[in-house]
Amino acid sequence: MSDMDLFKNDVKQWLEENCPHSLRTPTPENELVWGGKNVNFVTQDMRDWFERMRDKRWFCPGWPSEYGGGGLSATEVNILEKEMLRMRCRPPQINLGIWMLGPVLLKYGTEEQKKRLLLPMTQGEVRWCQGFSEPNAGSDLANIRTSAVDMGDHFLVNGSKIWTSYGDKSDWMYALVRTDNNASKHAGISLLALDMASAGVTPKTIDLISGKSTFCEVFFDNVKVPKDNLIGDVNGGWPLAKLLLQHERSAMSKFGEFSLPNHFHLKTFVNDYMPKPHTVSETILHARTVVCDMEERIFNLTVQRMGEEARSGKDVFPTMSIMKYAHSEQEKVKFELLLDVMGYRALGWQLDGCANDSFSEQELSVTRGWLNSFTQTIAGGSSEVQLNVIAKRVLNLPDSKAGSSVKKVTTS
């Protein structure tokens, strides 16, 4: 038996013994475990699973052990992920720090920063949020205006961010700031790690159509950020931002694989609501379901193939935009189909704190899921922007013609 076969057996046995059976199911939104100072466990099983994975150092299995990672090789990480997927183990915690900032710190952080910032991530102790977008800097991200002025031993930060997911619940933010107003817009940007408990930081939640508020505006009023929280060089933040965004897209496109097990399984839904097609329109719905199901399988196989390519050393990063685009657009189609299949049964709406016994838990999540599917075509760079990035960076097509009315995209 090869070393990898032995490793696989160990992984299987460990997961079998340590992942509670109640957590081998898709994760409902209210049961997502966000790491951080105020981590919340709905059940004891969730706490156990979190602590066991943390102690095993498998929150970040592939990171070097000196920074709290598991020190596994790419092949071993692959085996672990596949086994978790096969057993349908829930992710023990969700943490933007691990998905996005961690890989950037590993590449660009100082030794001191790696020890100070990565270690708490691997323990699930700090919840991070992303401070990139501003009112006039979304697709055109390099247009950010939030300023950080060099004051000797610290930067003084003023301005505001918008659409900061869970800004009110996060402990730290990685933020893009302008450190040079005279340089060209890409050249005057830096990346800072910012403690959300600093004086002068005010998050304000934004109400959403879904009835939930996951977004914040975050205001900075003379916020002091120590110099050693600068990641990379002063004015050198843009390449780091691009790398970070690629990791964001990669994480988003993998949601269906292992990041967030998919809550909505088409076949189950369709069988429950439309066991046998009787009319022409039901037959058409069935045909749409088959197409949707096939596309989902194709997508998952492609993600797996790209994972294998990445692990064998191929640079698959530019193609993450394709996956992000395909996945988010596919989710939209899927939810539209669910609404059509379920009819009025999809229209249940749970208000916080109110019982709603007329609809099942699944039925109550469909309309919210449908509304949420639109947001995924915007978060991490809109679909139109992804198409531009694909045209430029993957297909190497020329820029839009001079004089074209289409604004130049600078997101990545």
Q: Is 378 in the site for ligand FAD (CB under 6 A)?
A: yes
Q: What angle do CA 35, 118, 188 make, to 5 degrees?
A: 105
Q: Which stretch binds ligand FAD (CB under 6 A): 5-13, 56-64, 307-315, 374-382?
A: 374-382
Per rule CB under 6 A, is residue 409 in the interface with ligand FAD? Answer: yes
Q: Within 165-194, which residues bind ligand FAD (CB under 6 A)?
A: 165
The residue among 139 and 350 lying less far from ligand FAD, judged by its C-beta, is 139
Helix axes 280-311, 266-273, angle to 10 degrees: 170
Smallest separation, CB 314 to ligand FAD (Å): 28
Q: Mark 99-138 with x for binding to ligand FAD (rule: CB under 6 A) and - for no binding.
A: ------------------------------xxxxx----x
Residue nearest to ligand FAD (CB): 138
Of the two residues 11 and 320, which places its CB atom closer to ligand FAD in the complex?
320
**CA–CA separation, 141 and 185 (whole Å):** 10
Q: Which is nearer to ligand FAD, 58 or 370 (CB)?
A: 370
Smallest distance, Å, CB 173 to ligand FAD? 9
Residue (of 66, 64, 61, 80) closest to 9 by Cα position: 80
Candidates 71, 202, 382, 391: give the one binding ligand FAD (CB under 6 A).
382
H or E segment at 401? none
Please report which residue ranges of 28-72 form alpha helices under DSSP H: 44-55
Which residues are within 8 A (CB) of 333 and not within 5 positions of it... i.e. 6 or more apart?
Answer: 292, 295
Q: Which two tokens stand for residue 411?
A: 């997101």
Positive or negative CA dihedral for 156, 161, 167, 173? negative
What is residue 227's DSSP assignment? Answer: G
* Rounded-to-integer distance, Cα 299 and Cα 323, Å: 8
Compare residues 234 and 371 and give the one whose CB is closer to ligand FAD: 371
253 binds ligand FAD (CB under 6 A): no
CB of 384 to ligand FAD, least distance (A): 3
Taking CB under 6 A as the binding criterion, the range among 112-120, 318-326, 349-357, 383-391 that sits at the site for ligand FAD is 383-391
Provide the mask over 48-87, with x wherever binding to ligand FAD is found by CB under 6 A and - wherever it is not: ----------------------------------------
Binding-residue total with ligand FAD (CB under 6 A): 21
- Counting contacts by CB under 6 A, is residue 252 touching ligand FAD? no
> Binder to ligand FAD among 18, 139, 160, 300 (CB under 6 A)?
139
CA distance 248 to 321: 10
Give the angle 171-175-180 at the CA atoms, nearest 5°: 150
In the region spanning residues 302 to 341, those forming contacts with ligand FAD, defined by CB under 6 A, are none
Buried-state track 348-375, b at ≥16 Cβ within 10 A, e below 16:
bebeeeeeeeebeebbbbbbbbbebbeb
Of the listed pieces 60-68, 79-87, 160-168, 187-195, which binds ligand FAD according to CB under 6 A?
160-168
Question: Would you count residue 164 as binding ligand FAD (CB under 6 A)?
Answer: yes
Say how far apart CA 406 and CA 394 lie, in whole Å.
19
The CA distance from 322 to 393, in Å, is: 11
Residues that bind ligand FAD (CB under 6 A): 129-133, 138-139, 163-165, 375, 378-379, 381-382, 384-385, 388, 406-407, 409
